[in-house]
């Protein structure tokens, strides 16, 4: 009896190790246990809370990225959209308009940027990586030239409710984490229960088949990039609220690679067509543990980047092994 | 005679489905060996193993009596094996000479020197091809010559021709056969894959027939007849069920006109094509490769766009239409079921039920509508049942299914949209024999129920068995129209090539 159970568990475990999700879950648990044992300050309520909070913003950004990646795209302009739209909103608020109005303008800017990028990809048929790479530079350049000059934009004074986003708590849980959780739930429902979600998977899986079936690929692409831009803006607001300022220099940081790391590591294949919200959560937690642990160990920033780079590379290699698109699998149809 | 190639219990499986199963096959020194079989019988797979494109799953491959296994086409080439594909593997933007020397260039090349060497080589083979001509300007037959010249230059002695005559005119065919004789005279061994039985009977020394991946018969060509081969290809009991007596069938009467194409043109592929499709009957559309039949129908379904100027007129149920995207056609009840399901037919890593229900979703208009999962499951299950898709469950991913079941899912995905004009492009390509009959039944039932049905096929028995009315396409036009009572294989083929 117990033998059978053990066998069942073993089968479950070996099944776990076969999927990328499973591998990452096991690695995350291992890292957590290891850090908890080796680093006395890691396993403390304060640090765990800080860990989750710091990683929530990355997680929010990764949700937007995940939507685009599932549809076989990629959006490397997210950071640019984030810093420019939030900074501009703050500038407007400080020049005498109400904060609410300013935030609305910021949101509008983000959506317009996303729509334009989407149009470029959907109708101009530019490869997403190039389109968003170039668009990111354009957005950042526009912002720095016309909208704001200082790198550091502080949250406008007397923004009472706004600072609650980053610093408040609901039932003891930081609002940042609550926002991440709510967005996770929302994206999960969209992907699994709406026409838009199902068609997003279909598009990522086989754009040609999606088109012939009667799915409007192009408006869908535009919508996806608009949503990811809006999500980037939301993440920017949370970030600015918790740090009381937004730093445009983030555009030049490795943040966009951290987002990709979360998405790929979590198991959302870059080939598109699969991946769920739980992959994002998993990726977020693993990257969070990794970054937090390395920071506590006082590992220099450059070495942290090296570690992240190596992990990203490994994740991409595993991704292409787990989700192969080679000649043999693609030729099954014409035996 | 010695065997240059031998397969022993050769099996090649893709994702657990055996495409070639326990095949014992030999190719003798200096013979022409025809390999026959229906679509999906495993001919291409077997020869692709020999050409180094796939490794064997089990069994042995021997060249000159020594066991070998190739890890790449380059490996096979080193053993003197050359495969000439239906679509030639030449580089269109380079000239003939450059293509012949491709892969054997010296470190520094002078175009003139290469041209002269190619000229000598072509002359020795007695090929009339200009070495300085760009490959993109050549016709199908000349391209084949270049490919053969290249193979000979690489010291090939075992040639595999995959449907070499499909794209050739009768005159070019004669050239090709002379060429095969010449290669044979020089001691080469040749495998010849074909659909055309007469060709095989006249040119081959031996003939092998494959069915569902198994070798059914191998014999001297003179011991075989057309009837024997057909019987081996389809199996006795299936012949009647599948490609039954066309003469006995009663043609369905046409009802109202559903679709009309008038002088529709698109680039060089479709040139002023005119045709009509009627409700309540099956319209068969036959044509050789490159006749533009697929393109005509893709234009009607909005998959391709016709020329903006002088592109002709398309009328759908009396209304002039110009579709920019397939969605517009789908919403007006036009379904195009693709000839290449892997390319643009199915969502391979998604489940059966999801695939089917996506068809339903695509027809709707509200982008944010919430899906009732139970309703989705129920509707998909209904269609899976109707189409007799056999699998371990509704959540089985499409990659795990056989070709026939995949095709049924693709059809179900379109039929759930309740279309009134359904275009089947090669509906039974790469489909197992059992499923062919079932798919044919579905097509018949649709026509009986009053839908307009178009079947594009390059397999004549299929056209003759299904159609009430037959259109023949050649060079981008419809050149012949006949009812099933007037039609015969010879008549259709004559219209298609002349």
- pLDDT category of residue A112 using cuts at 50, 70 and 90: very high
- pLDDT category of residue B16 using cuts at 50, 70 and 90: low
**What is the pLDDT, as a whole number, of residue B367?**
64
Which of A198, A209, A331 is best to mutate for the B interface (most B CBs within 10 A)? A209
- Looking at per-residue confidence, does B65 or B458 come out higher? B65
* Side-by-side strand order, sheet with B477-483: B334-337, B421-425, B452-457, B282-287, B469-474, B477-483
Query: In angstroms, how far is the first alpha carbon of chain A from the final one?
Result: 46
- pLDDT category of residue B244 using cuts at 50, 70 and 90: low
The conformational region for residue A254 under phi > 0 = left, psi -120 to 50 = alpha, else beta, is: alpha
Are B235 and B211 in contact by the 8 Å Cβ rule? The answer is yes
Cβ B342–A331 below 8 Å, yes or no? yes
Query: In angstroms, how far is the first alpha carbon of chain B from the final one?
Result: 41
- Looking at per-residue confidence, does A15 or B144 come out higher? B144
Instruction: Please tell me which residue of chain B has the smallest CA distance to A198.
Output: B358
DSSP conformation letters of A41-92: TTSSHHHHHHHHHHHHHHHHHHHHHHHHHHTT---TTHHHHHHHHHHHHHHH
**What is the pLDDT, as a whole number, of residue A128?**
94
Based on its alpha-carbon atoms, the radius of gyration of chain A, rounded to whole angstroms, reads 21
- Joined together, the tokens standing for residue B86 give 């239906």
ipTM: 0.78
Which of B356, B362, B427 is best to mutate for the A interface (most A CBs within 10 A)? B362
CATH 3.40.50.300 fits B246-497, yes or no: yes
- pLDDT category of residue B247 using cuts at 50, 70 and 90: low
Spatial distance between the Cα atoms of A310 and A307, rounded to a whole number of angstroms: 5
Instruction: Please tell me which residue of chain B has the smallest CA distance to A330.
Output: B342
Query: Strand, helix or coil at A123?
Result: coil
Instruction: Please tell me which residue of chain B has the smallest CA distance to A202.
Output: B347
Cβ A205–B331 below 8 Å, yes or no? no
DSSP conformation letters of B420-474: SEEEEESTTTT--HHHHHHHHHHHHHHHHTT-EEEEEES-HHHHHHH-SEEEEEE
Q: Which chain B residues are closer than 8 Å to A331 by Cβ?
A: 14, 342
- Please say if the pLDDT value at position A328 is more than 50: no
Spatial distance between the Cα atoms of A264 and A200, rounded to a whole number of angstroms: 18
Q: Which chain B residues are closer than 8 Å to A198 by Cβ?
A: 354, 357-358, 361, 371
- Please say if the pLDDT value at position B174 is more than 60: yes
Cβ B371–A194 below 8 Å, yes or no? yes
- pLDDT category of residue A330 using cuts at 50, 70 and 90: very low
The conformational region for residue A252 under phi > 0 = left, psi -120 to 50 = alpha, else beta, is: alpha
**What is the pLDDT, as a whole number, of residue B163?**
79
Most confident stretch, A138-142, A160-164, B179-183: A138-142
**Of A205, A211, A274, which is closest to B326 when you measure between CB atoms?**
A211
Phi and psi, residue B218, nearest 5°: -135, 125
Instruction: Say which range, A4-13, A94-103, B87-96, has the weakest mean pLDDT.
Output: A4-13
High-pLDDT (> 70) share of chain B, %: 93
Helices (H), A71-174: 78-94, 99-122, 128-142, 160-167
Which of A276, A323, A335 is best to mutate for the B interface (most B CBs within 10 A)? A335
- Please say if the pLDDT value at position B298 is more than 90: yes
**Quick check: do B3-240 and B246-497 share a fold?**
yes
Spatial distance between the Cα atoms of A22 and A13, rounded to a whole number of angstroms: 9
Based on its alpha-carbon atoms, the radius of gyration of chain B, rounded to whole angstroms, reads 24
Q: Which chain A residues are closer than 8 Å to B54 by Cβ?
A: 328
Task: Report the pLDDT averaged over residues B104-127.
Answer: 81
How far B368 CA sits from the closest chain A CA (Å)?
6
Nearest one of B186, B33, B56 to B124, comparing CA atoms:
B186
- Joined together, the tokens standing for residue B289 give 């490769």
Q: Which residues of A275-297 are buried (b: 16+ CB within 10 A; e: fewer)?
A: bbbebbbbbbbbbbbbbbbbebe
Phi and psi, residue B211, nearest 5°: -140, 130
Q: What is the mean pLDDT of chain B?
A: 84
**What is the pLDDT, as a whole number, of residue B15?**
63
- Please say if the pLDDT value at position B81 is more than 60: yes
Cβ B362–A199 below 8 Å, yes or no? yes
Which of B46, B345, B361, B366 is best to mutate for the A interface (most A CBs within 10 A)? B361
How far B362 CA sits from the closest chain A CA (Å)?
5
Instruction: Please tell me which residue of chain A has the smallest CA distance to B43.
Output: A335
Are A229 and A81 in contact by the 8 Å Cβ rule? The answer is yes
For A257-305, the pLDDT digits (tens) are: 899 999 988 888 888 888 899 999 999 999 988 888 888 888 898 998 8
Cβ A209–B346 below 8 Å, yes or no? yes
Q: What is the mean pLDDT of chain A?
A: 86
Spatial distance between the Cα atoms of A81 and A63, rounded to a whole number of angstroms: 15
- pLDDT category of residue B243 using cuts at 50, 70 and 90: low
How far B363 CA sits from the closest chain A CA (Å)?
6
- Please say if the pLDDT value at position B245 is more than 60: no
Spatial distance between the Cα atoms of A119 and A127, rounded to a whole number of angstroms: 12
B459, with CB counted inside 10 A (0-12, 13-18, 19+), is middle
**What is the pLDDT, as a whole number, of residue B1?**
60
Spatial distance between the Cα atoms of B70 and B48, rounded to a whole number of angstroms: 11
For B371-427, the pLDDT digits (tens) are: 777 888 888 888 888 888 877 777 888 877 877 888 999 999 999 999 999 999 989
- Looking at per-residue confidence, does B279 or B78 come out higher? B279
Q: Which chain B residues are closer than 8 Å to A335 by Cβ?
A: 14, 19, 40, 42, 44-45, 213, 403, 430
Spatial distance between the Cα atoms of A189 and A63, rounded to a whole number of angstroms: 13
- Please say if the pLDDT value at position A326 is more than 70: no
Task: Report the pLDDT averaged over residues A227-254.
Answer: 92
Spatial distance between the Cα atoms of B471 and B283, rounded to a whole number of angstroms: 7
Q: Is the pTM of this model over 0.90?
A: no
**What is the pLDDT, as a whole number, of residue A111?**
97
Are B452 and B285 in contact by the 8 Å Cβ rule? The answer is no
**What is the pLDDT, as a whole number, of residue A245?**
87
Handedness of CA B306, B312, B313, B314 (dihedral sign): negative
Instruction: Please tell me which residue of chain A has the smallest CA distance to B39.
Output: A335
Instruction: Say which range, A94-98, B252-256, B309-313, B362-366, has the weakest mean pLDDT.
Output: B362-366
- Joined together, the tokens standing for residue A247 give 């730093």
- Please say if the pLDDT value at position B449 is more than 60: yes
Q: Where are the domains of chain A?
A: 55-254
Query: Crossing angle, helix A255-266 and helix A301-322, to 10 degrees?
Result: 40
Q: Which chain A residues are closer than 8 Å to B350 by Cβ?
A: 201-202, 205, 273
Q: Which chain B residues are closer than 8 Å to A218 by Cβ?
A: 325
**Of A199, A202, A328, which is closest to B54 when you measure between CB atoms?**
A328
**Of B327, B345, B371, which is closest to A209 when you measure between CB atoms?**
B345
Cβ B366–A195 below 8 Å, yes or no? yes
**Of A212, A219, A323, which is closest to B338 when you measure between CB atoms?**
A212
Cβ B326–A213 below 8 Å, yes or no? yes
CATH superfamily of B3-240: P-loop containing nucleotide triphosphate hydrolases (3.40.50.300)
- pLDDT category of residue B86 using cuts at 50, 70 and 90: low
- pLDDT category of residue A18 using cuts at 50, 70 and 90: low
Q: Which chain A residues are closer than 8 Å to B359 by Cβ?
A: 213-214
Instruction: Please tell me which residue of chain B has the smallest CA distance to A200.
Output: B358
Q: Where are the domains of chain B?
A: 3-240, 246-497
- Please say if the pLDDT value at position A148 is more than 60: yes
- pLDDT category of residue B240 using cuts at 50, 70 and 90: low
Q: Which chain A residues are closer than 8 Å to B429 by Cβ?
A: 334
DSSP conformation letters of B96-121: HHHHHTTT---SS--HHHHHHHHHHH
For A34-89, the pLDDT digits (tens) are: 888 888 888 888 888 778 888 899 999 999 999 999 999 999 999 999 999 999 99
- pLDDT category of residue A1 using cuts at 50, 70 and 90: very low
* Side-by-side strand order, sheet with B66-68: B17-28, B3-14, B58-63, B66-68
Interface residues from chain A to B (CB-CB < 8 Å):
193-196, 198-199, 201-202, 205-206, 208-216, 218-219, 223, 273-274, 323, 327-335
For B179-235, the pLDDT digits (tens) are: 888 888 888 899 988 767 778 888 899 999 888 788 888 888 888 887 788 777 766
**What is the pLDDT, as a whole number, of residue A332?**
36
A33, with CB counted inside 10 A (0-12, 13-18, 19+), is exposed
- Please say if the pLDDT value at position B330 is more than 70: yes
How far B399 CA sits from the closest chain A CA (Å)?
8
How far A335 CA sits from the closest chain B CA (Å)?
5
Task: Report the pLDDT averaged over residues A136-164.
Answer: 86
Cβ B347–A194 below 8 Å, yes or no? no
Query: Strand, helix or coil at B191?
Result: strand
Instruction: Please tell me which residue of chain B has the smallest CA distance to A204.
Output: B347
How far A323 CA sits from the closest chain B CA (Å)?
10
**Of B44, B327, B406, which is closest to A216 when you measure between CB atoms?**
B327
H/E element, B383: helix B373-386
């Amino acid at each position: 009896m117990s033998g059978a159970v053990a066998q069942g568990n073993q089968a479950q475990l070996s099944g776990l190790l076969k999927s990328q999700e499973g591998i990452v879950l096991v690695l995350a648990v291992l890292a957590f246990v290891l850090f908890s044992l080796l680093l006395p300050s890691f396993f403390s309520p304060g640090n765990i809370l800080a860990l989750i909070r710091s990683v929530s913003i990355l997680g929010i950004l990764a949700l937007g990225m995940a939507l685009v990646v599932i549809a076989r795209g990629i959006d490397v302009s997210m950071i640019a959209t984030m810093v420019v739209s939030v900074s501009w909103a703050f500038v407007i608020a400080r020049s005498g308009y109400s904060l609410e109005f300013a935030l609305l303008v910021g949101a509008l800017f983000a959506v317009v940027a996303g729509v334009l990028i989407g149009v470029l990809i959907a109708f101009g048929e530019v490869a997403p990586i190039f389109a968003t790479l170039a668009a990111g530079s354009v957005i950042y350049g526009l912002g720095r030239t016309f909208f704001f000059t200082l790198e550091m934009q502080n949250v406008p004074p007397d923004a009472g409710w706004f600072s609650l986003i980053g610093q408040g708590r609901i039932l003891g849980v930081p609002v940042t984490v609550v926002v991440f959780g709510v967005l996770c739930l929302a994206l999960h429902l969209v992907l699994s229960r709406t026409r838009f979600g199902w068609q997003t998977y279909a598009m990522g899986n086989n754009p040609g088949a999606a088109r012939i079936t009667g799915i409007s690929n192009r408006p869908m692409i535009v919508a996806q990039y608009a949503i990811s831009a809006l999500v980037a803006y939301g993440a920017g607001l949370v970030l600015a609220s918790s740090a009381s300022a937004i730093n445009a220099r983030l555009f030049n940081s490795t943040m966009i690679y951290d987002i990709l790391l979360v998405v790929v590591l979590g198991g959302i294949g870059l080939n598109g067509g699969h991946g769920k919200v739980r992959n994002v959560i998993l990726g977020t937690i693993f990257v969070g543990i990794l970054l937090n642990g390395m920071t506590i160990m006082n590992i220099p920033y450059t070495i942290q980047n090296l570690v992240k780079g190596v992990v990203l590379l490994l994740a991409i290699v595993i991704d292409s092994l787990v989700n192969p698109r080679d000649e043999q699998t693609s030729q099954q149809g014409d035996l | 005679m010695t065997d240059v190639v031998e397969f022993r219990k050769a099996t090649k499986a893709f994702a657990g489905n055996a495409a070639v199963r326990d095949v014992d096959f030999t190719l003798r020194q200096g013979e022409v060996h025809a390999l026959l079989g229906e679509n999906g019988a495993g001919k291409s797979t077997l020869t692709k193993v020999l050409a180094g494109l796939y490794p064997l799953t089990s069994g042995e491959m021997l060249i000159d009596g020594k066991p070998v296994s190739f890890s790449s086409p380059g490996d096979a080439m080193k053993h003197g094996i050359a495969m000439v594909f239906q679509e030639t593997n030449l580089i269109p933007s380079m000239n003939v000479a450059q293509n012949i020397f491709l892969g054997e260039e010296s470190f520094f090349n002078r175009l003139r020197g290469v041209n002269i060497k190619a000229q000598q080589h072509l002359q020795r083979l007695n090929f009339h091809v200009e070495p300085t001509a760009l490959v993109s300007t050549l016709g199908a037959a000349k391209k084949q010559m270049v490919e053969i010249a290249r193979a000979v230059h690489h010291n090939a002695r075992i040639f595999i021709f995959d449907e070499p005559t499909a794209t050739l005119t009768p005159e070019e065919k004669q050239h090709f056969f002379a060429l095969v004789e010449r290669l044979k005279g020089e001691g080469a061994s040749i495998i010849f894959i074909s659909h055309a039985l007469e060709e095989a009977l006249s040119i081959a020394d031996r003939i092998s027939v494959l069915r569902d991946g198994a070798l059914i018969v191998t014999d001297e060509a003179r011991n075989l007849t057309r009837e024997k081969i057909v019987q081996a290809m389809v199996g006795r009991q299936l012949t009647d069920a599948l490609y039954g007596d066309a003469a006995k069938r009663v043609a369905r009467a046409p009802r109202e006109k559903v679709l009309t194409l008038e002088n529709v043109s698109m680039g060089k592929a479709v040139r002023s094509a005119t045709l009509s499709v009627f409700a309540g009957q099956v319209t068969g559309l036959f044509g050789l490769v490159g006749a533009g039949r697929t393109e005509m129908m893709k234009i009607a379904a909005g998959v391709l766009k016709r020329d903006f100027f002088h592109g002709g007129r398309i009328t759908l149920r009396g209304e002039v239409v110009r579709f920019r995207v397939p969605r517009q056609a789908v919403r007006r009840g036009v379904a195009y079921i693709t000839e290449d399901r892997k390319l643009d037919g199915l969502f391979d890593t998604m489940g059966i039920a999801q695939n089917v229900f996506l068809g339903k979703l695509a027809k709707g208009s509200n982008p944010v509508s919430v899906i009732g999962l139970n309703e989705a499951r129920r509707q998909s299950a209904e269609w899976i049942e109707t189409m007799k898709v056999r699998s371990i469950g509704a959540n089985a991913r499409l990659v795990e299914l056989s070709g026939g079941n995949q095709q049924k899912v693709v059809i179900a995905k379109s039929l759930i949209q309740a279309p009134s004009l359904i275009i089947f492009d090669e509906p039974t390509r790469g489909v197992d024999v059992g499923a062919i009959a079932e798919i044919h039944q579905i097509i018949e039932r649709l026509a009986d129920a009053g839908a307009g049905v178009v079947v594009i096929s390059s397999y004549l028995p299929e056209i003759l068995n299904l159609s009430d009315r037959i259109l023949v396409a050649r060079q981008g036009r419809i050149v012949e129209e006949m009812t099933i009572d007037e039609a015969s294989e010879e008549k259709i083929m004559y219209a298609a090539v002349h």
